[in-house]
Amino acid sequence: MTTRTLRIALLTSTLLAGAAQAQDVTLTIESWRNDDLTIWQDTIIPAFEAQNPGIKVVFAPSAPAEYNAVLNSKLDAGSAGDLITCRPFDASLELYNKGKLADLTSLAAMANFSPVAKSAWQTDDGAATFCVPMASVIHGFIYNADAFAQLGIEVPKTEAEFFAALDKIKADGTYIPMAMGTNDQWEAATMGYNNIGPNYWKGEEGRLALIKGEQKLTDPQWVAPFTQLAKWKDYLGDGFEAQTYPDSQNLFTLGRAAIYPAGSWEISGFNAQAQFKMGAFPPPVAAAGDTCYISDHTDIALGLNAASPNADQAKVFLEWVGSPEFATLYANALPGFFSLNSTPVEMADPLAQEFVSWRDKCQSTIRSTYQILSRGTPNLENETWNASANVIKGTETPEAAAERLQAGLASWFAPQQ
């Protein structure tokens, strides 16, 4: 029995390989977006294949948590797919430096992207770009509009209004004021610290000053977001310490919580599951009239495996990914992933429109920990997860957390020493 199955297994693999060589070229995409599998299979890939006979595309995602480890192993051994979904900044830069990702600077479609859009997938000097930008995600808060109407709450614009609204929801008792847990840690950092933080460190200004070593994480503008987070504790649900990310999502979409600190990627899932009206507001500012800053984070791009035997066909696909056509398709199939293409994209989803409208009235920045600062050990981003969760739980004071992060960063990052 074993020999037979072996023979079948070997036979199928040769058949598959043989078929691929005979005429059609099959391109495989490595990705961590397993949520999007159906959208790629049903919408995006058919659109491409219809225009490009002879090229077949397979979307082969793995779970986000394992993606980096799996991808690196496959690249090292030479079994990775032709197209590689790129994490922003250092993870992909490292792959490029090791020669795993091909240089795509000469791709015609690169002209469709602004320097800011490309910055997450370039060498430090900006000379080479190695991934085609696909989308960014915007942070903010999604709220249950029915609940707000029922309790007579206006959408908060300032910190004071924000906490007044939370107090009101809490006093009423029908809803958990805010749906967030610390079990998975990254929510605290991503939807907490990096969501509200840019208003305090003034977006790009603070972020770049940190990289140059002109500001420290112990400066007031960097401690302030932690001080805010420490206040959130009272508004989270019972047992938030063990609440996971899916728990939070379910709490909100089941209508049990009023406010959800969000990333725009939640939109399509929430649309499908929530049976109430939703709205969104940007992180509240300290005082009315202050300039607002939002985290508009370049999150996802597509690169070419330098060892791909189908580089020519893969480039055809990448040119298409860089086209306005793809941008419209992608942004509408996945509302909340905002196109980085310079050509404006029409989006049908109202919640997505709300998020993207903040780009006009607020200053955009990216997550503070992503560029350059998470290159060493200890890793600033991972430390920030831990620190943000601790601060929300109250097991570490904002000052102590900031001090720990600063000490860790200074231990390897020369401009901070």
Partner 1 sequence: MSGRRQIRWHIAVFLAPAVLVYTAIMIVPLFGTLNLSLFNQTPERTTEFVGLSNFRTLFGDPRWSGAFWNALGNNAWFFVVHMLVQNPIGILLAALLSSPRLRMAAFYRTAIFIPTILSFVIVGFVWKLILSPIWGIAPGMLDVVGLKSLFAPWLGKEDYALTALALVSVWQFVGIPMMLIYAALLSIPDEVLEAAEMDGITGMSQFWKIKLPLILPSIGIISILTFVGNFNAFDLIYVAQGALAGPDFSTDILGTFLYRTFFGFQLQLGDPHMGATIATAMFGIILIGVCIYLFGIQTRLRRYQF
Partner 2 sequence: MAQARISAGRSIAAHAVLITYTLIALFPVFVILINSFKSRKAIFAEPLALPTRETFDLIGYTTVLKQGDFFGYFQNSMIVTVASLFFVLLFGAMAAFALSEYRFRGNLLTGLYLALGIMIPIRLGTVAILELMVASGLVNTLMALILVYTAQGLPLAVFILSEFMKQVSDDLKNAGRVDGLSEYTIFFRLVLPLVRPAMATVAVFTMIPIWNDLWFPLILAPAESVKTITLGSQVFIGQFVTNWNAVLAALSLAILPVLVLYLIFSRQLIRGITAGAVK
Contacts with partner 1 by CB under 8 A lie at 65, 68-69, 72-73, 87, 89-91, 94, 97-98, 181-186, 237-244, 247, 250-251, 369-370, 374-375, 377-382, 385-386, 389-390, 393, 395, 408, 411
Give 185's DSSP letter.
S
What's the rounded Cα separation, in Å, for the pair 163 and 230?
Answer: 12
- Decide: is 123 part of the binding site for partner 2 (CB under 8 A): no
Residues from 342 through 361 that contact partner 2 (CB under 8 A)? none
**For partner 2, which is the closer residue by CB, 83 or 366?**
83
- Cα dihedral 142→147→153→156 (10° resolution): -10
The binder of 186, among partner 2, partner 1, none, by C-beta within 5 to 8 A per type, is: partner 1
Tokens representing residue 374 in the block: 């998470």
Please report how close the Cβ of residue 72 comes to partner 2 at its closest, in angstroms: 8
The partner in contact with residue 342, picked from partner 2, partner 1, none with C-beta cut-offs of 5 to 8 angstroms by kind, is none
- Ramachandran angles phi, psi of 321, nearest 5°: -60, -30
Interior angle at CA 370, CA 96 and CA 210, nearest 5:
120
CB of 407 to partner 1, least distance (A): 10
Pick one of partner 2, partner 1, none as the site partner of residue 60 (Cβ within 5 to 8 A by kind): partner 2
By a kind-dependent CB cut-off of 5 to 8 A, residue 357 interacts, out of partner 2, partner 1, none, with: none
Q: Is the distance from CB of 36 to CB of 61 less than 8 angstroms?
A: yes
Under a CB-based contact definition with an 8 Å cutoff, are residues 109 and 226 in contact?
A: no
Q: How many Å apart are CA 385 and CA 192, to the nearest integer?
A: 10
Among candidate residues 333, 305, 299, the one with its CA nearest the CA of residue 27? 305
Question: Measured from the CB of residue 305, what is the shortest distance to partner 2 in angstroms?
Answer: 14
Q: Bridge partners of 281?
A: 141
Q: For residue 222, which amino acid is it?
A: W
Task: Between 182 and 371, name the residue whose CB sits nearer to partner 2.
Answer: 182
Q: Which of 383, 355, 199, 366 is nearest to 299 (CA)?
A: 366
Instruction: Rule CB under 8 A: say whether 114 interacts with partner 2.
Output: no
Q: Beta strands 83-86 and 293-304: pairing type? A: antiparallel
Is 214 a binder of partner 2 (CB under 8 A)? no
Q: Could you say whether residue 245 binds partner 2 (CB under 8 A)? A: yes
Give the ranges where 173-219 is alpha helix by DSSP (H). Answer: 186-187, 194-196, 198-201, 204-212
User: Residue 286: which of partner 1, partner 2, none does it interact with, CB under 5 to 8 A by kind?
Assistant: none
Q: Residue 357 corresponds to which tokens in the numbers above?
A: 């409208």
Say whether residue 174 binds partner 2 (CB under 8 A).
no
Shortest Å, Cβ 4 to partner 1? 21
Q: Tokens 């598959």, residue? A: 16
Q: What's the min distance (Å) between Cβ of 113 and partner 1?
A: 23
* Span interacting with partner 2, options 7-15, 214-222, 308-316, 336-344, rule CB under 8 A: 7-15
* Residue 134: CB atoms within 10 Å: 26
The C-alpha atoms of residue 32 and residue 60 are separated, in whole angstroms, by 9
By CB under 8 A, residue 273 contacts partner 2:
yes
12 binds partner 2 (CB under 8 A): yes
Counting every residue, how long is the chain? 417
Contact 183, 243 (CB under 8 A): yes
Phi and psi at residue 178, in whole multiples of 5°? Answer: -140, 135
> Both tokens of residue 134?
């696909």
| Interface with partner 2, residue 246, by CB under 8 A | yes
Say whether residue 106 binds partner 2 (CB under 8 A): no
Q: Using CB under 8 A, which residues numbered 61 to 100 contact partner 2?
A: 61-64, 66, 70, 73-74, 76-79
Measured from the CB atom, the residue of 26 and 250 that comes closer to partner 1 is 250
**Which of 85, 129, 249, 268 is in the footprint of partner 2 by CB under 8 A?**
249
Least distance to partner 1, CB of residue 388, Å: 11
- Binding site partner of 378, from partner 1, partner 2, none, Cβ cut-off 5-8 A by kind: partner 1
Using CB under 8 A as the criterion, which residues of the chain lie in contact with partner 2 when the complex forms? 1-2, 5-6, 9-10, 12-13, 16, 34-35, 37-38, 60-64, 66, 70, 73-74, 76-79, 245-246, 249-250, 253-254, 269, 273
